[in-house]
Chain A
Amino acid sequence: MTAIPLEVRDLRTTLFTRRGEMKAVDGLSLSVGAGETVALVGESGCGKSLSALSIMRLLPDPPARIVGGEVKLNGQDIVPLDEEAMLDIRGKEIGMIFQDPMSALNPVVTIEKQIAEVVMAHSGLGRFQARARAHELLEQVGMPDAGRRLDAYPHQLSGGMCQRVVIAMAIACRPSVLIADEPTTALDVTVQAQVLALLKRLQAEAGMAMIFITHDLGVVAETADRVVVMYAGRKVEEAAVDDLFEEPLHPYTAGLIGATPVPGATRGDRLADIPGMVPALNALPGGCAFAPRCSRAMERCRREKPSLTVPVAGRLVACFAVAGEAA
């Protein structure tokens, strides 16, 4: 049996700052199978991007350090690896797409050179072949007029086209895992639809495992197979996408879904809002981090952190109220 493309176990990343230690990622476990898309959802500051950067080993130390857990990429734990070994793995076995395509590209290097650089670093192809491969990749990501864009600079392209270039670079070496961090947040809605369709097509063609980080539940519903909901650095719920939207178990998930307008709702319906806001990582309440905002919070929630339980087969939730119901 081949190994699962990505398996994260009990990952802990701590930020060591002057204001104290902050547990940015606090015991995250998840696995992504070949051809599967797992959405990592939550509001700003919940640790979703830091989780992705930890998996890629891209966080600067100091202040960030992985203090525990493992990240198995095709069976190999990459947490103990040194930077040199990581350079070989990033871009080759695991690719990443960032939110802001303009700043992910070098403004003074042509598109062709930026893609060719990735290709040459990992494949041993020469300059000439790498150029041909860059052209082929641009065609593959649906760049209009691909041949002519090779010699363009990023500022000559629109945001959507730049994101296509970033995607071309991310898939250049056919990685088995792709991490997309808010890849369409900066794009207009019609271009977002194009890029989402492109990512789905590329994933299906290559059978990539994909982690899709987003705060937009609409995008989650359109792309994900499974969803991991994070709050204050911890996973609070995990479920198949249909189950999650049909019956969110964690009060935070239910709040997020209630707060998102859906088409066809009656005019005048109030959105369900979650009172308060996401707590700062250096001022987390004891017990469940969501308790101060939670309508179902009990005495126990303020004292003790709930751990993940399995209320129904195939689902995970970290909530005393839900666990109490199931028991």
Chain B
Amino acid sequence: MSALLVLDDVHVRFNTAAGQVQAVNGVSLDLAVGETLGLVGESGCGKSTLGKAILRLVPTSAGEIRIDGADIAPLDGAALTELRRKVQMIFQDPYGSLNPRSTVGRSVAQPLVLAGWKRDAIAERVDMLLSWVGLPPEARQRYPHEFSGGQRQRIGIARALALNPKLIICDEPVSALDVSVRAQVINLLEDLKAKVGMSYLFISHDLSVVEHIADRVAVMYLGTIVEIGSRDRIWREPQHPYTRALLAAAPIANPKLARARRRTILQGELPSPLDPPTGCPFHSRCPMAQARCKVEPPSLRAIGVGTQAACHFI
């Protein structure tokens, strides 16, 4: 499979009143055509920032992001518009991501209008998009407040699909939804992928959802990727101590399995990204940490086929 998206040593820095935050600190990964890559980590690990950087919604301070082989950093004007046609985003908050004063039809049509589509073609396309996401054509005339959270997320998905993107960045798309509705939206995302054939970068803190939907998974901690590999390997043979801790901490919706597993609960909390630990970012909470970890940051290296982890001791 050819790579649709390649990140090469990407850095994103924010200057804040309290100092400089290295939100993304040297991330390299690639995503193949038709693949779903899960990006997991706890709050503040930089996963959403990374998603935004791919859309050029935040600037990178170093490194390269390539889509279809082309570096996106120098793009402007028509070329930047073309990038945003290829890459779309679905947001976490279905209440905040739609204009409350625009009808659903207008919101979904907006990308088409910007792309210069003709009126009739737009109307036809909007009807098709709404039917893809399971909304009736009457939804066009209604406003976002008339819809539930799950339905609004469907509207956001329809808008993201409008221009046949190659990659959709899903930033916690089901985190704000109730269990039964969450399952509807996950199934919808999978059905649409089978139908349209785009790739997903699926950002989530919910490991059970990522395990369900992803082909490959990247685990982030304080701006760096600590492990990346196929879904099966990550869940069956997690290598990095943080991946293991994360999996051990995730609640299992099965009381017998939950009791049967031995778990070591990770101590401490995430360090502040304003003042990250030296060396390996995880050493302050790591049960395996040695003197070397405090000094020398480990780099991501291959551990067996298709898995990479950043730890001195694997």
Contacts and interface: CB of A to CB of B under 8 A. Distances in A.
Interface string A258-283: 11111111010111111101100000
Contacts of B232: 267
A189 B255 contact: no
A132 B187 CA distance: 54
Contact of A245 (B178, B183, B251, B253): B253
Most chain A CB within a 10 A radius of its CB, from B179, B249, B268: B179
B212 interface: yes
A194 interface: yes
B207 A270 contact: no
Given A189-B207, A189-B246, A197 B187 contact: no
Interface stretch (A18-26, A113-121, A214-222): A214-222
**Which bucket holds chain A's interface residue count?**
35 or more
A263 B180 contact: no
B30 interface: no
B256 A193 contact: no
User: Interface size class for chain B?
Assistant: 35 or more
Contact of B265 (A193, A257, A265): A193
Given A193-B263, A217-B179, A263-B235, A242 B42 contact: no
A279 to B, nearest CB: 11
A125 to B, nearest CB: 31
Contacts of A221: 251-255, 257-258
A260 B212 CA distance: 10
Contacts of B205: 188-189
Contacts of A193: 248-249, 251, 263, 265-266
Contacts, number: 135
Interface in A25-48: 43-44
B211 A261 contact: yes
Interface in A165-188: 188
B33 interface: no
Contacts of B150: 277
Interface string B149-187: 010000000000000000000000000001111111011
Given A218-B251, A260-B179, A273 B187 contact: yes
A58 B256 CA distance: 36
A271 B178 contact: no
Nearest to A186: B43
Interface in A44-95: 44
Given A215-B178, A215-B179, A277-B150, A158 B269 contact: yes
Contacts of A190: 42, 245-246, 249, 265-266, 269
A101 interface: no
A144 interface: yes
B253 A188 contact: no
Given A188-B43, A272-B183, A277-B150, A262 B253 contact: yes
Given A189-B246, A262-B208, A273-B187, A161 B253 contact: no
Given A194-B265, A256-B179, A271-B212, A277 B148 contact: yes
A123 B43 CA distance: 39
B231 interface: yes
A104 interface: no
A34 to B, nearest CB: 21
Given A144-B268, A261-B209, A265-B212, A218 B253 contact: yes
A271 B190 CA distance: 10
Interface string B242-283: 000110111111111110000101111110000000000000
B255 A245 contact: yes
Interface string B206-221: 0111011001000000
A197 B265 contact: yes
B208 A222 contact: no
Contacts of B248: 193
Contacts of B148: 277
A207 interface: no
Nearest to B242: A190
Given A261-B212, A273-B187, A189 B268 contact: no
A189 B62 CA distance: 31
A188 B42 CA distance: 6
B254 A262 contact: yes
Contacts of B267: 194
A261 B265 CA distance: 22
A43 B231 contact: no
A160 interface: yes
28 contacts: A44-B178, A158-B269, A188-B42, A189-B42, A189-B250, A190-B42, A190-B245, A190-B249, A193-B249, A193-B251, A197-B265, A215-B178, A216-B251, A218-B251, A221-B252, A221-B258, A242-B256, A245-B256, A255-B180, A257-B253, A259-B183, A261-B186, A262-B252, A265-B212, A271-B187, A274-B180, A275-B184, A277-B181
Interface of A: 43-44, 144, 158, 160-161, 188-194, 196-197, 215-222, 224, 241-242, 245, 255-265, 267, 269-275, 277-278
Given A188-B205, A189-B42, 9 more contacts: A193-B263, A194-B267, A220-B253, A221-B251, A221-B254, A222-B251, A256-B179, A261-B211, A272-B183
